[in-house]
Every structure is written in C-alpha cells, then in structure tokens.
Amino acid sequence: MRFLTDDGRFGFLVAPLKGRGMFRFQLIIDSQLIGDTEPCILGTAMARLGDLTHLDDDRLNLLFSDRDAVLSALLTEEELHDRTTLSIAESLDDWLIHGYVYKGNVVVVARGDEDGSLMGPTLVAVVASAEYDPIVEAARSYWSSVNSSSIS
C-alpha cells in the first residue's frame, strides 16, 4: 500500500510479507522509491516518523539553493546530525536519511550510502506538516491493523 502526497513526491510503501510482523517498507523521496524489498519490522519507523525534531537553524534555508550544503551541515554539525538522523528500518540501511520540521514543513533529505561512501544525488522532499501528518497516520493505522491481525 502506498501513502503519498498529492503530487507523489513523498510517501511510504508499506506492504505485509510472510512472517510474523514482517513488512516491506520503502520511502518515496523526490518522487523516487528508495530502500530495498527485504522484510523488516516497523515499530521504530512508525514511532519515529511521527515524532520528528523541530529545528530553527538558519543554515537550513539553503535547502532550496544548495541541498548538498544542507546535507553537509546535517552530517557535520553534531546537534543537527544526532537530532535528524532517521535510522528507522533495515530496508533503508543503504541510505543516509535525515528528517526534521522547519518553518511548518517536514523536510526529508536522503542520499545513497554504500559502506560509508555517499553516492548518487541528494534527494529532498518538503511537505507541509498539515499534509505529512495524515500520511504518517494513515500508514501507521494500516501497519497497526495488519500487524495486529497477523498476530491474532
């Protein structure tokens, strides 16, 4: 099941797989599906995606003109890095993902990460919080419903 913004630039793919509590989980960022299809458990992802850090750092304004500069700040500034890094599911292990709320928008920044070496373009999705929250809630409700029925 896909949970997307109206423009399709951001969302989640959540699909139950065989095995107790196992799901396929991928993100859609900048209209690109990222992550692998390996089974994973989603409790941490569902909790963390609904509780992103709010930031006021002016360097984040550069996002629209220089996304790599913003990614660099997220990687090197400890107070930004630790608060924004999203380690949410095994299916995203080959991706460096940061998420935060800035000026009423949810921002998700992702880049491929193979053995500590960043690769590929920096992907960015900016979603109004009013649009993001219902998408997360719908994905969480779906996951919870399927997960509880598979346990019964």
Residue with tokens 């419903």: 145
pTM: predicted TM-score of the whole model, two decimal places: 0.90
| β-strand partners of 64 | none
pLDDT in tens, 57-116: 888 887 778 888 888 888 998 889 999 999 999 999 999 999 999 999 999 999 999 887
Q: Of the given ranges (52-56, 107-111, 116-120), which has the lowest mean pLDDT?
A: 116-120
How many CB atoms lie under 10 A from the CB of residue 74? 23
The DSSP 8-state label assigned to residue 77 in this structure reads -
Q: Which of 36, 40, 32 is nearest to 9 (CA)?
A: 32
